[in-house]
Amino acid sequence: MNPLIELRDLGRSFSLGRETVEALKRINLKIQRGEFVALVGASGSGKSTLMNILGCLDAPTAGTYRLAGQDVSALGQDGLAELRRRHFGFVFQRYHLLNSLSAISNVEVPAIYSGVSKSTRQARARRLLTQLGLGDRLHHRPMEMSGGQQQRVSIARALMNGGEIILADEPTGALDSMNGEVVLDLLKTLHAEGHTIIIVTHDMGVARHADRIVEINDGQIVSDRRSAASGAPPLRDLVDVAENVGFLTSFLRRTSEAASIAFRSVAAHRLRSALTLLGIVAGIVSVIAVVGLGEGGQTIVLDQINSLGANSIRIFPGTGWDDRNRRHADSLTRDDAAALTEQSYVNSVSPVTMDSGQLMFESRTADGEIMGVSNAYFDVAHRPITQGNRFTDGGNATLPEAIIDSNTRRTFFGNSRTPIGEILVIKGVPFVIVGAVGEQDGQPQVFIPHFSVFSRISGSQRLREIDVRINGSVDTNVAEKAMIAFLEKRHGTRDFFTYNSDQLRRLLQKTTRTFSMLLVSIGAVALLVGGIGVMNIMLVSITERTNEIGLRMAVGARASDIMLQFLIESLAITIMGSCAGVALAFGLGALAGSIETTIPMVISLHAVSVACIMAVMIGAIFGFFPAKKAAHLKPVEALSRD
Ligand code: ADP
Ligand code: MG
């Protein structure tokens, strides 16, 4: 039969800068099932190094190690973790219990990584602790127990997964002689039950309890004495432990365990977690607020753009807005307007004249703006008729007609009386009101056919502008060019200029897009800062818990288990932060809604989901690096880190 443990020419060297320390040199050793072996030697002789290799916590740099016939050096991290889970139970000089957990929870830890269900775990841990005389200490924390009790808890933990081979490195080193005896008696009892026991000690008095003493000096075996034949019975207790569950069940159990560890850790450092959380909250709120404000602003801008009217071009006399003679320029005529109507790309044209003067209804008077337009104006300028009709017969009716804005209507008719059909006197000339439009800021406005202005009011031919609506199928910019060419040819000179709402629309849209991008990046930077906070705290958490990580790995945690534990922790912080952030953003939104602001804050589902997705991504990304760092710690180094 294969020996349980077989080392051949095994070596382990450490490189320290340029120097190499050979801690173990050509070790050859066979250990059979059921033996009780003591590795003895002076301090620094290599006992712990050998023990760590035996326990698959560390790998040799030379030679081979066969465990139950299987070559261990070929295995990767997870393979070694599995061997640790299946075969070994560790007892350390300094116990390595997790201070935040009760005795029973400490004992349960190895079984978590074997995928054993919580109830089975608890029942077994309770039984083991009771057998070891700690039935009344199940829910005590390590700090509340004596050294001897703690070491017994750690022995119970070593037995949790069966503990076929128990590796004890100076198990009595931190105990007084009486408690040391208790622990040694326990190990002897376990040996009698069939466990293979390997202890490391520098104390011959302790070593004498073993059946076989292997002495190590300066990394080499110098003697190997057997004091008693090992005739222990085969181990009974192993069978019920290795619960054969499917990968998925095991994974789900381990994940839920990782989550509960993560939440406990968050809860254990409330202030710290809360401060980190605050960073995420600030990030989330700023993303939502900033996107909300951006969208609110965009709505306003879009409304304004729409009020400009679609596909319209306005033509003004003069050379540009900066033309000082513009107000007196009379280069645009009604004939121009008529000629433009003939162009194929033109849908409709409205000459516009403007005057101001007294409006009178019955005995009341008011100052108003008098616009001379044609029916096309109401389309071009986007001022739909809200009541009544447009000018009858395109403005050629015999009776002079007027359309008033709602400002005029309020001024003269109040809200209840309908103005349609009433006679309004404009600069002394009576007009019958046929329709009404919405108002724009400013004076009361009345609209009359443009030739009425000429024939009845001012006698001036001068047009203030010509508004042209382009056919829907034609590109506004192309039409604008054609129109300029046409008028230039007609006038023989460029004594007019145009204004194209499409350009403005595009410019505004581009500007709002740039603006929202800018806002979103500000929010993203805030979130990023929050994310860096999370990463920072995760790194602190990992540094503080390096020992815990080492212990978890020693009892069989896979790299993925450790990774998951810390990823969930960082995700927990970011997810809690985003929930709080969303709540706060809604609160602020309600507050902003209750006070008058120029830009409304629109909290859209879109903004909320963007923020939350970003937060989760940040939790995953910024948690990933620390979690990976934790998962790649070497068990031995992590365990020995102070
Ligand atoms: P023991 O447990 O017998 O006291 P160790 O196995 O801890 O001895 O150490 C054996 C030798 O290996 C010592 O000289 C020690 O300095 C060296 N050694 C152990 N671990 C490391 C390490 N991680 N890096 C460098 N040298 C080490
Ligand atoms: Mg040692």
- Please indicate, yes or no, whether residues 524 and 583 belong to a single structural domain of this protein: yes
- Please indicate, yes or no, whether residues 520 and 597 belong to a single structural domain of this protein: yes
Instruction: Specify the pLDDT at position 298.
Output: 74
- Please indicate, yes or no, whether residues 182 and 43 belong to a single structural domain of this protein: yes
Alpha-carbon gap, residue 466 to 445, rounded angstroms? 18
Residue closest by Cα to atom 10 of ligand 1: 46
Q: Which amino acid is at 206?
A: V
- What parts of the chain have a pLDDT lower than 50? 239-240
Instruction: Specify the pLDDT at position 12.
Output: 95
Alpha-carbon gap, residue 191 to 170, rounded angstroms? 17
User: CB-based contacts of 299: which residues, under 8 Å, 6+ apart?
Assistant: 600, 602
Whether 16 lines ligand 1, by a CB cut-off of 6 Å, is yes
- Please indicate, yes or no, whether residues 292 and 400 belong to a single structural domain of this protein: no
The CATH number that applies at residue 182 is 3.40.50.300
Mutate to test the pocket of ligand 1, among 19, 39, 48 (most ligand atoms within 8 A of CB): 48
| Closest listed ligand to the CA of 216 | 1
- Please indicate, yes or no, whether residues 483 and 591 belong to a single structural domain of this protein: no
Phi and psi at 16, nearest 5°, equal -115, 95
Instruction: Specify the pLDDT at position 16.
Output: 87
Alpha-carbon gap, residue 639 to 482, rounded angstroms? 83
Element (H, E) at 181: helix 177-192
User: CB-based contacts of 406: which residues, under 8 Å, 6+ apart?
Assistant: 386, 436, 437, 438, 439
Please state the three-class secondary structure of 571-597 as a single string: HHHHHHHHHHHHHHHHHHHHHHHHCCC
Ligand 1 nearest atom to the CA of residue 636, by list position: 23
| Closest listed ligand to the CA of 638 | 1
Ligand 1 nearest atom to the CA of residue 16, by list position: 25
- Please indicate, yes or no, whether residues 240 and 262 belong to a single structural domain of this protein: no
The answer as to whether 519 is a domain residue is yes
- Please indicate, yes or no, whether residues 291 and 334 belong to a single structural domain of this protein: no
Instruction: Specify the pLDDT at position 561.
Output: 92
The residue from 179, 214, 244 where one domain ends is: 244
- A 10 A CB-CB count for 387 gives 17
- Please indicate, yes or no, whether residues 207 and 268 belong to a single structural domain of this protein: no
The answer as to whether 549 is a domain residue is yes
- Please indicate, yes or no, whether residues 339 and 392 belong to a single structural domain of this protein: yes
The answer as to whether 250 is a domain residue is no
Instruction: Specify the pLDDT at position 383.
Output: 84
Instruction: Specify the pLDDT at position 527.
Output: 83
Whether 19 lines ligand 1, by a CB cut-off of 6 Å, is no
Predicted TM-score (pTM) of this structure: 0.71
Instruction: Specify the pLDDT at position 474.
Output: 81
Range of the domain at 485: 330-494
Whether 43 lines ligand 1, by a CB cut-off of 6 Å, is yes
Instruction: Specify the pLDDT at position 626.
Output: 93
Instruction: Specify the pLDDT at position 239.
Output: 42
C-alpha 190 – ligand 2 centre gap (Å): 23
**Among 507, 527, 535, which residue's Cα sits nearest to residue 585?**
527
Place of tokens 């300028």: 381
What are the tens digits of pLDDT across the range 212-258? 999 999 999 999 998 866 555 666 555 445 556 788 888 888 899 88
The residue from 442, 461, 494 where one domain ends is: 494
- Please indicate, yes or no, whether residues 271 and 351 belong to a single structural domain of this protein: no
Residue closest by Cα to atom 14 of ligand 1: 44
The answer as to whether 479 is a domain residue is yes
- Please indicate, yes or no, whether residues 270 and 223 belong to a single structural domain of this protein: no
Instruction: Give the chain's domain count.
Output: 3
- Please indicate, yes or no, whether residues 517 and 596 belong to a single structural domain of this protein: yes
The residue from 494, 515, 530 where one domain ends is: 494
Instruction: Specify the pLDDT at position 183.
Output: 92
> Could you give the residue ranges of the DSSP H alpha helices within 47-146?
47-54, 77-87, 103-112, 118-131
Whether 177 lines ligand 1, by a CB cut-off of 6 Å, is no
Question: How many residues are given for the chain?
Answer: 642
Instruction: Specify the pLDDT at position 305.
Output: 66
Residue closest by Cα to atom 7 of ligand 1: 48
The answer as to whether 119 is a domain residue is yes
**Among 608, 601, 612, which residue's Cα sits nearest to residue 577?**
612
Instruction: Specify the pLDDT at position 289.
Output: 80
Instruction: Specify the pLDDT at position 457.
Output: 78
